Amino acid sequence: MTGTGILWRDTARPVSCFGLDARALVGFMLWALHMCWPTFILSLVCVAVFVICQRFGASPAAAWRYIRLACFSDVRERQSLYHFRRNARW
């Protein structure tokens, strides 16, 4: 095993199963719990969304942030309530 160039621990890569991100199989777990045509179609849609995210090079968490940013804008409060309470001297 020494000298092969394969690391014993490769945690930087996402877990994949059959070439897909393992998180894409969440839909199939749902289908395995309740096997009917609508849940099968839902699982295929879930896999398609994950494949599209993977093709664009975004993790599901990053894709969710992009969607949230597109829907709700990136405008934030100028100063949060925490800073107000920290600066108050009571």
In a domain, 7, yes or no: no
In a domain, 83, yes or no: yes
Output 24 or 88, whichever has higher pLDDT.
24
In a domain, 72, yes or no: yes
- Per the CB < 8 A criterion, the answer to whether 14 and 22 are in contact is yes
Residue 5 pLDDT > 60: yes
In a domain, 6, yes or no: no
Q: Is the pTM of this model over 0.75?
A: no
Rounded Cα gap, residues 63 and 45, in angstroms: 16
In a domain, 10, yes or no: no
In a domain, 5, yes or no: no
Structure confidence by residue, pLDDT tens digits, 23-65 = 878 888 889 999 999 999 999 998 888 888 888 888 878 888 8
- Domain with 29 in it: 16-87
In a domain, 80, yes or no: yes
Number of domains in the chain: 1
The three-class DSSP label of residue 26 is helix
In a domain, 78, yes or no: yes
